[in-house]
Amino acid sequence: MEENESHIGDIKPIFLKCEYLINPLGIDIVDPRLSWVLESDKRNKKQTAYHILVASNEEILNEDRGDLWDSGKVITDESTHIIYQGKELKSQIFCYWKVRVWDGNDKPSDWSKNAKWSMGLLKDDDWKAKWIGTSSKSIFWINKVLPKKDNPCPLLRKSFQFANKAKRAIVYVTALGEYELYLNGKRVSDHILAPEWTDYDKRVQYQTYDVTDLLVEGENVIGAILADGWYIGNLGPGMPPYLHHFYGENRRLLLQMEIEQFDGTIKEIVSDSDWKILEDGPIEVADHFTGETYNVQKEIVNWDKSGFDDSEWSHVTIDSTIDNKIVAQMNEPIRIVKEIKPIEVTEPNPGEFVFNLGQNIAGWCRISLDKSICDANAIITLRHGEMLNPDGTLYTKNLRNAKATDTYILKGIEKREYQPHFTYHGFQYVEVKGLKPGIKPNLDMITGCVVASDARLVGGFESSDPTVNKLWNNILWTQRDNMISVPTDCHQRNERMGWMGDALVFCQMSIFNMDMAAFYTKWIQDIRDAQSDEGRYTDMSPTPYRIKGLFKLVFLGAPAWADCGIHLPWDVYLNYGDKRLIEQHFDSAKKYIDYVHSKNQNLIWIRRRGNNYGDWLNGNEIKSEDYPKKGGEVPKEVLSTAFFAHSTEILSKMAEIIGLKDKFEYYDNLARQIREKFTERFVKNDGKIKGDTQAGYAIALHFNLLPEELRPKAVKHMLNAIERYDGRISTGFLCTLPMMLELTRWGHNDTAYQLLLSRKFPSWFYMIDQGATTMWERWDGYVKGRGFQNKSMNSFCHYAFGSVGEWIIKVILGIDLDENQPGYKHIIVRPRPNGAITWAKGYYDSIRGKIDVDWSLQGKKFNLEIKIPPNTTATVYLPASNLENITENDKSIHESDDIELKKYEANLAILKINSGKYSFISSM
């Protein structure tokens, strides 16, 4: 045994993924990329080679053979984005794979555990199914801007016989609208609001489910419910108040089930004219903004099971006019990701009960009802809101036209639980009406169901300051609440759009929280789909306004918002090392920069038509007697030109990494010219920037727009601008995070800490002191003594100001990436302690493994414990008043072969370390 063990390497591959996903079904990438994480409990462990096997079944793979691909031993340290290079992958094939690696001593690991993926329907003619649904209806255009007429959700069913036991049964399904799918009375998956949101005229996603275990011998029944969803339902900011039927007018289903028998024969069940439909189902209303109405009195018992008589049901309508592009869903689906119970119930008015979940969530309530609390034919209503009025009643004015109301029309008195199917709400409080008079419900009656795209949590943070910890938690909740297929701006009012500027500033923070690789890969395609023919990115993606007649020129090309189409793909590349994404996106990004340049030949971006939001919701928007009235907003041409310069610089870097030398040189030179023009037009010789605002200095410094000699002067002006505001923030969405980062970079970390920890209005802590459980849209969403801000735009769950979490991770915890070695191949660890916080610990689980940091400050003694994943290295910045007093694991750093002193100056030791665990102590 000991002899055998000596031949096994010190690292092993774990956590195998295909295209960022664990065991995905039905992918449509014909050369998928494979990745794994390396595990070792020893230092300086590296991969020197890998060997991948891919087989058509597990039996072959378990024999250590790969009939689809046997890579052989490949000499490389790369463990991410390994491109499949085996036999051609055809539709519906299952691929089972595993990997082993060699360490620095050329010893192989054991084989990893088996993983798998399957291919979807890759060609148009693979789809034998037809689009089916209700009888076709046409909506006159004027009705699309009037209140929407809700139609019940139809029930569709198909009965078929299957005599044998199936080897495998796979269903491929999508809809125009939304669907829930059942087989023999059971939900086939826990996916919610499928097929999710895209610009449906460009792409419709389909989902793949393994339903082998749901099949029975004899009669089987497929059941489906269709709803409006994003395709037909109310959508958008609501200007005019009602906009719906953007993408289409009729709900449709497309379904194909492939049943493989043990003798190799295939039985296909497809959506076709044999299906039956009941157009008047029990779900009478289902809309994301309106809510859902469920009429128990119209329930059809066992409609989705065998033995049901559907002779009175109609035949479905076949819709042969649909030619939408169908693609596989390649990111995590929307699911119920958490359930929470209320912490309090009150009765502000007789029979009106308000439950407080204690947390602002996106989702709905599951309600348990029985004869003890409601009558047999009661109508129970649940209204949702983020806040309460002073009298304890539900505050709903900031929902605008979103009714956010779920209704249950009961029949009978048996105990049952009810929850919606095709809606979601943003709320902390839910008002329940319709219970028996004199009855006070208990807390167990309600369960809050949190829904979100189910990306894996990959980050954590904790510190000695409980309010900072609360802020971190609020940021995480805000992200979770606004990850409903796309990154939405808010979750409660009639808006919930993928606003690009908001995502631009929050992108890195979101990645520190969750594994956003697949989610953003999908959304970046949404961004390209929405791009205008001449190159402008839209202000929000997806964007139904692109196809909506009078609104085609609305929400298009706004500075910073459109620039998200450059910045966000670049951030994804830096964090995940995804070079293919840059290759796919480059032409789109180039088209955008070329358009902006064509309209601004003098290199100063002045927006003459369309929206220009500037540093959105900056200090000028704050309504308070205790705050300066003017002077907070950076001039828009300053901000626009800054983004023009920086986006052009990013484009040049994209060109460089994909080997386009000529384009790199062209756009690198153009970016330099824009920076020079920025300085010439907006910057005085004393470093003062036009507008003299916190935001202007922050963005110019953050984008490195200024000549070296002017930068220290600009920093002084930024500090003066903060002092003019009594040490308070005047920045908006775009410039708050840059100001925090630049204060730290230029040696004013204490000022950044003061802004973070301030309880003066406006501040992050002020929100928390008012009871916030998520981030507010406005600094002054609610002010004690004044009340609520503008009801038409005042969300209490909006992640933009949560971008400060990036500063928390990079500065307090100290984890950062190295742009020159993307995907955390090389890691920066640089905590910058401040006496106000005496310890912090946390982690980031990167694409290459988990990075742990745990530091504490005891007087002048600084303790730093870190763990760096195998196959990576790190640079550690260690505050130290004396180099000789630095120890690691009670030994001098000079005694370790895994630590290299790169530099020591200004009481800072810069160390290069190999992977593994380290425990440093220094004196500050």
Residue-level length of the chain = 924
Question: Which residue among 19, 279, 431, 777 is the active-site one?
Answer: 777
The two tokens of residue 79 are 């463990």
| Alpha helices (H) along 864-904 | none
Q: Which residue in 224, 553, 628 sits closest to 421, CA to CA?
A: 224
The number of C-alpha atoms within 13 Å of 760 and in the hemisphere containing its C-beta is 11
| Structural contact between residues 74 and 39, judged by C-beta atoms closer than 8 angstroms | no
When computed from its CA atoms, the radius of gyration of the chain, rounded to whole angstroms, is 29
Nearest to 518 by CA among 571, 598, 572: 572
777 is catalytic: yes
Give the integer Cα–Cα distance in Å for 850 and 20.
16
List the catalytic residue out of 332, 431, 495, 742.
Answer: 495
Tokens at 302, concatenated = 């066992």
Side-chain half-sphere CA neighbours of 777 within 13 A: 23
CA distance linking residue 172 with residue 258, whole number of Å: 8
Local structure of residue 364 (DSSP, 8 states): E
d(C-alpha 261, C-alpha 758), whole Å:
67
DSSP string, 226-237: EE-HHHHS--SS
- The answer to whether 310 and 301 are in contact (CB under 8 A) is no
**Residues in CB range of 489: below 8 A, 6 or more apart:** 482, 495, 496, 497, 498, 499, 502, 540, 777, 795, 798, 800
Q: First CA to last CA across the chain, in angstroms?
A: 49
| Cα separation, 718 vs 715, whole angstroms | 5
Question: On the CB side of 223, how many CA atoms lie within 13 Å of its CA?
Answer: 23
| 369/342 Cα distance (integer angstroms) | 16
| Other Cβ atoms within 10 Å of 20 Cβ, number | 25
Question: Helix (H, G, I), strand (E, B), or coil: what is residue 817?
Answer: strand
- Rounded Cα–Cα distance for residues 214 and 165 (Å): 11
Q: Which residues contact 390 (CB under 8 A, 6 or more apart)?
A: 787
Q: How far is CA 646 from CA 102, 651, 696, in A?
A: 41, 9, 14
- Say which residues have a Cβ less than 8 Å from residue 223's Cβ, sequence separation at least 6: 155, 156, 157, 181, 182, 183, 185, 303, 304
Task: Supply angle C-alpha 790, 423, 781, rounded to 5.
Answer: 20
Q: Tokens 């369960």 — which residue?
A: 447
Q: What amino acid positions are annotated as catalytic residues?
A: 495, 777
